[in-house]
Amino acid sequence: MKRHNAAELPVPVSNGGERDDKTGSKVDKMGGAARRWRCGGCCSRLWFVLVVSATVTMLVLHGYDSGLGHGAAAVVRIEPVRRGSYHTRKVNPVDRGGGGGRPSFCGSSPSPPDSGSAKPVTVDHKSATSDSSTGTESDGGGEPSSASSSRPAAEDKSDRCGGRYMYVQELPLRFNTDMVKNCAALFPWTDMCKFTANGGFGPQMSGGGGVFQETGWYNSDKYTVDIIFHDRMRRYECLTGDPSLAAAVYVPFFAGLEVWRHLWGFNVTTRDAMALEVVDIITSRPEWRAMGGRDHFFTAGLITWDFRRLADGDGHWGSKLFSLPAIKNMTALVVEASPWHLNDAAIPFPTAFHPASDEAVFVWQDKIRRLERPWLFSFAGAARPGSAKSIRSELIAQCRASSVCSLMECADGPSNKCGSPARYMRLFQSSIFCLQPQGDSYTRKSAFDAMLAGCIPVFFHPGTAYVQYTWHLPKNHADYSVYISEDDVRGNASIEERLRRITPAAVERMRETVISLVPTVVYAQPSSKLDTMKDAFDVTVDAIIDKVTRLRRDIVDGRGEEEKLEMYSWKYPLLRQGQKVEDPHEWDSLASILLYSLLAWPKAAMLTSQ
């Protein structure tokens, strides 16, 4: 395989226009381009280059306050295991009257979930699992919890689904399931059909030598959220064929798989073709006009930088999907979002666990709660030689030197020790803390694997989880994780010493929180979704509905969401009551250093394929 020519890479510039030593090297290795996709498990993501934008200066001015974030007054906790709470969150059914000339919701007659206009998604009526009798409280700011009085035909159904209806946009199959059918063409080097099988869960694994349970475990690839989400949506209990009833509109475009098959060796015309097509289709539909697409969402199960090409030219990485005006109005669900754009949101990477019942989750939680954890901490991953900004070599050196750290060094090729989920899950299950430095991008699937194993994640950069998965993880990061800054690691802070300082009681508390997050970070079986708890899909759908409902209210109130500044998009979900976005925040300095970390691959990287 041919290596790239590093000289073709854009040089990251600091505020003054000079090279920024912090953001590292302009010489990030392009060899990783292919590696990222070939090896499974925990090895490489794309190496990418940080380009610091001019807007940096604005953030720098806000300084650094290390005290914030720990004592958050308005901690939003996700409490996944709460019996009977599944449908208690009600969003008031939508008044679209002021939202752009659509007929108002109340005037239209409700239709029951209807598969007719929702292809390729079909409705499964079996999922009447919720306890609607508890659904009396309202999250909708004191408004009535449902509009059942004005919708006599829907009765119980309207109560259960009030404000939760989803409309599924109709798209030709080539935008979604055909890509799965043609899975052999998804990736130039490996047949991905193994991983797209079983609704995107991949091949089933059993037992794993006692590491897993007998059922519900799969060797899931980290980029199959498109398929997983779609399968769940097909069986969503509140689908409607009437878009005027819907709280949000799901566009079944597998944007992740689409870009995936065109990332290497294709010109920008090819990479953007389907993106432009899908925009043409959806913007010409009447549903679009209600909110200019702000109630529309879709999955793009890769990282955001795969869809934010810096400029036109075959040498630049990715598609320009997320920069298209229509898509800017929508919400794209990715596994790594941009902290500086408002139109994407991060949802968890798929892990190996896809439970079929609440019972399976309880049994798993019990198991990981009782495990002996002989190692204080562990690290599974590979170093990033050649990346000046990576702290992985420091972590590996510290782990090697410590008698309480277990190291699983990953390598490419057949000797890849991290390739098997049973191996790294065994490691995480025998460790109290699991180190989660940045990968080739900010995030790592491994962070979710660790939490699934009941191992408390140790993060070194807020971009790895804290500013990403704000829908799924607690706002107060100290509740479930340890933060040691990359700068501290570079300054020879001892990880072991830091972790030893944490009291057993605090460890216990954090681990309990991590264990309680298990349902929240896994994708359950679509055929028998969880009953009393919300999985990653449920939490995502709730968050989308909340977001669109707020937007709609803003439009009705004449408050445009335009007042939100993209550069602060990472910050909005972390704000406490009364806090303003301009107020200093713990992560300001880091955000400024890393602002606009955009991928820009040179042509050579794309020619390495064959």
Ligand X SMILES: *[C@@H]1O[C@H](CO)[C@@H](O)[C@H](O)[C@H]1NC(C)=O
Cβ closest to ligand X, residue 327 vs residue 405 = 327
Query: Is 393 among the residues that bind ligand X (CB under 6 A)?
Result: no
Cβ closest to ligand X, residue 5 vs residue 267 = 267
Cβ closest to ligand X, residue 63 vs residue 325 = 325
Cβ closest to ligand X, residue 363 vs residue 397 = 397
Q: Residue for token digits 């509740």?
A: 479
Cβ closest to ligand X, residue 232 vs residue 294 = 294
- Residues with Cβ within 8 Å of 522's Cβ and at least 6 positions away in sequence, in order, are 348, 351, 353, 354, 355, 361, 452, 535, 536
| Residue 381 contacts residue 460 (beta carbons within 8 Å) | no
Runs of H (alpha helix) within 188-295: 193-196, 225-234, 255-260, 268-283, 286-291
Query: Is 265 among the residues that bind ligand X (CB under 6 A)?
Result: no
CB of 548 to ligand X, least distance (A): 12
CA 326, chain centre distance (Å): 21
Query: Distances from the Cα of 552 to the Cαs of 92, 167, 220, 335, in angstroms?
Result: 11, 16, 36, 26
- Residue 231 amino acid letter: D
37: left (phi over 0), alpha (psi -120 to 50) or beta: alpha
Q: Residue for token digits 């969880």?
A: 530
What are the two backbone dihedrals, phi and then psi, of residue 362, each rounded to the nearest 5 degrees?
-60, -45
| Residue 341 contacts residue 509 (beta carbons within 8 Å) | no
Candidates 144-152, 169-177, 183-191, 323-331: pick the segment binding ligand X (CB under 6 A).
323-331
Cβ closest to ligand X, residue 158 vs residue 569 = 569
Query: Distances from the Cα of 21 to the Cαs of 8, 13, 25, 337, 413, in angstroms?
Result: 19, 9, 7, 25, 32
Single out the residue of 134, 269, 393, 527 in contact with ligand X (rule: CB under 6 A): 269
Candidates 13-21, 209-217, 290-298, 502-510: pick the segment binding ligand X (CB under 6 A).
290-298
Q: State both tokens at 504.
A: 């057993």
Candidates 291-299, 422-430, 508-516, 532-540: pick the segment binding ligand X (CB under 6 A).
291-299
Candidates 22-30, 188-196, 288-296, 438-446: pick the segment binding ligand X (CB under 6 A).
288-296
Instruction: Give the SS3 label for residue 459.
Output: strand
CB of 265 to ligand X, least distance (A): 9
Candidates 324-332, 407-415, 421-429, 481-489: pick the segment binding ligand X (CB under 6 A).
324-332
Query: Could you tell me which residues are beta bridge partners of residue 249?
Result: 167, 296
Candidates 286-294, 419-427, 534-542, 596-604: pick the segment binding ligand X (CB under 6 A).
286-294
Site string for ligand X, 217-256 (x = CB under 6 A): ----------------------------------------
Instruction: Give the SS3 label for residue 299.
Output: strand
Q: State both tokens at 8.
A: 């073709």
Q: Which residue is nearest to ligand X (CB)?
A: 292
Single out the residue of 123, 180, 263, 326 in contact with ligand X (rule: CB under 6 A): 326
Query: Is 270 among the residues that bind ligand X (CB under 6 A)?
Result: yes
* Residues at the site binding ligand X, with contacts judged by CB under 6 A: 266-267, 269-270, 283, 292-294, 325-326, 329, 491-492
